[in-house]
Amino acid sequence: MIFPDTQTAKILKIQKKLKKYIVSEGYLIGEFYQNNLQTGLHNNNFFPLQTIVGCIALRKMVVGDKIFLNSEKYEETIRKEYMKYYNQFFNPTKLIS
């Protein structure tokens, strides 16, 4: 979803309101905006969520998304809830290392 004339605070509010439901359905939701300072996982000089036009993106959750859902930026109760949903889609006992 593209929000060309929307302030960053509004994009963050929308993303926060939808995140629990989106994760519970096996998807991730990300917020993109001009001054997003979230760095890449492997490069602190790369800002993959910066865009000229504000938007929110949805995508299907994959096994490697555990790192995003179990992030310390979330309160412990939120992380546990996200991990409960993650484990519903990716049962660790069925995965091959």
Predicted local confidence at residue 92, as pLDDT: 62
pLDDT value of position 93: 65
Residue 94 C-alpha from the chain's centroid: 24
Q: Residue 64: its pLDDT value, please?
A: 93
pLDDT string in tens for the chain (97-residue length)? 998 888 899 999 999 999 999 999 999 999 999 999 999 989 999 999 999 999 999 999 999 999 999 999 899 999 999 999 999 999 766 555 4
Distance CA 80, CA 84 (A): 6
* Ramachandran angles phi, psi of 32, nearest 5°: -125, 130
Reported pTM: 0.83
- β-pairing, 54-60 vs 2-3, is antiparallel
pLDDT reported for residue 4: 86
